[in-house]
């Protein structure tokens, strides 16, 4: 079989952990209808990275990520202030913060690297990530963050779940909304920050959104969703890095995102619950039946139509769905069964 090189093992382990934890975290975020918050925060991290570098002059990943963390946190605070004090729609505020913060980051970067254009190589690393260059220390860092996030998630599982499903009830139960909201934001931010290193800013959203969306197609139960999202995320992460390492010059982040996209697509199309294919067929069939048996349904809802309407019903009379009794149109047993069947398609 394959012999996995040490580097590849490292990378696969890293992306597996990242995929699993962001998939689980994403379950909360997507249900809270803030799926794109990850996208906004990831972009907003850029100026923080640059400022951290300007202040320390060190290229050390962990230090730069601390800058990223504060920058993303600032973006989140600004978003909340805008939401609280204006009528601006949240998605508009998010779009502006995402792009505006990124612009500030680009300015800082071009200032650092002087001469405008040379900066772009460094930036594309931020945008698309660079999993292939991970070393043991990076993995340790990711493992620690992922583990802490996982423990926090389990510790506050009950509260998080309640908050996601019913914020009003949560408040009414006397629980601290600010705390749980802050906790959620902080956890998402942390995960995004470690994700940027691996898959980059743009595709981080795939890791947050893809797994929960796919999981949602497979199960209606929250706990199962959470588990499935973790499994799907972890699998795509590890599998993605494996494929990208074996393929010719395949970038890791995009391969993971592509894989996730395929998984989402397959679940959307074929989910036994409400897959597009099953739904489309059933809806077509339902519509067809309703159209075909329109008159029969009408008779069922309005019993006792006089036989003078028989002209409209000759098809159904011919097929023994309807008979004429005492000068009235009557549904036969066959007709009643047919109606039951039509209704049952849903």
Residue closer to another protein by CB (options 7, 120) is 120
Residue closer to another protein by CB (options 125, 175) is 125
Query: Do 220 and 163 meet the contact criterion of CB atoms below 8 Å apart?
Result: no
Least distance (Å) from another protein to the CB of residue 182?
A: 21
Residue closer to another protein by CB (options 171, 298) is 298
Residue closer to another protein by CB (options 9, 274) is 274
Least distance (Å) from another protein to the CB of residue 90?
A: 9
Residue found by looking up tokens 């039509």 in the block:
342
Tokens of 187: 């956890």
Least distance (Å) from another protein to the CB of residue 315?
A: 15
Residue closer to another protein by CB (options 112, 144) is 112
Q: Report which of 301, 290, 303, 273 is spatially closest to residue 345, judged by C-alpha positions.
A: 290
Least distance (Å) from another protein to the CB of residue 114?
A: 7
Least distance (Å) from another protein to the CB of residue 110?
A: 4
Residue closer to another protein by CB (options 125, 143) is 125
Least distance (Å) from another protein to the CB of residue 243?
A: 10
What's the sign of the alpha-carbon dihedral 150, 152, 155, 159? Answer: negative
Residue closer to another protein by CB (options 154, 277) is 277
Instruction: In whole angstroms, give the CA distance from residue 82 to residue 326.
Output: 73
Instruction: In whole angstroms, give the CA distance from residue 147 to residue 271.
Output: 31
Least distance (Å) from another protein to the CB of residue 137?
A: 27
Least distance (Å) from another protein to the CB of residue 173?
A: 25
Least distance (Å) from another protein to the CB of residue 47?
A: 9
Buried b (16+ CB within 10 A) or exposed e, 144-156: ebbeebbebbeeb
Residue closer to another protein by CB (options 155, 265) is 265
Residue closer to another protein by CB (options 9, 220) is 220
- CA 11 vs. chain centroid, Å, equals 23
């Amino acid at each position: 079989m394959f012999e996995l090189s040490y580097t590849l093992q490292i990378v696969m382990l890293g992306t597996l952990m990242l995929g699993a934890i962001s998939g689980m975290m994403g379950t909360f975020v997507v249900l809270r209808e803030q799926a794109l918050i990850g996208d906004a925060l990831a972009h907003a991290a850029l100026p923080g990275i640059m400022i951290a570098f300007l202040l320390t002059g060190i290229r050390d990943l962990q230090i730069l990520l601390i800058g990223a963390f504060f920058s993303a946190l600032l973006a989140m605070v600004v978003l909340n202030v805008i939401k609280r004090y204006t009528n601006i729609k949240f998605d508009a505020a998010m779009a502006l913060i995402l792009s505006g913060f990124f612009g500030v980051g680009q300015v800082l970067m071009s200032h650092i690297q002087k001469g405008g254009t040379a900066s772009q190589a460094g930036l594309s690393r931020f945008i698309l990530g660079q999993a292939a260059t991970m070393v043991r220390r990076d993995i340790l860092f990711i493992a620690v963050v992922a583990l802490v996030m996982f423990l926090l998630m389990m510790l506050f599982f009950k509260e998080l779940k309640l908050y996601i499903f019913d914020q009003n009830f949560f408040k009414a139960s006397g629980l601290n909304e600010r705390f749980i909201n802050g906790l959620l934001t902080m956890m998402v931010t942390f995960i995004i920050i470690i994700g940027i290193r691996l898959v980059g800013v743009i595709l981080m959203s795939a890791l947050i959104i893809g797994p929960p969306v796919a999981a949602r197609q497979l199960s209606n139960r929250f706990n199962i969703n959470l588990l499935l999202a973790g499994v799907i995320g972890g699998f795509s992460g590890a599998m993605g890095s494996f494929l990208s390492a074996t393929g010719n010059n395949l970038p890791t982040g995009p391969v993971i995102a592509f894989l996730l996209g395929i998984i989402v697509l397959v679940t959307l199309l074929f989910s036994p619950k409400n897959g597009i294919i099953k739904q489309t067929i059933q809806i077509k069939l339902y519509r067809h039946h309703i159209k075909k048996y329109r008159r029969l349904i009408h008779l069922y809802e309005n019993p006792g139509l006089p036989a003078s309407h028989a002209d409209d019903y000759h098809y159904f009379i011919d097929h023994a769905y309807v008979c004429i009794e005492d000068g009235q149109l009557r549904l036969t047993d066959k007709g009643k069964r047919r109606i039951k069947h039509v209704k049952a398609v849903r």
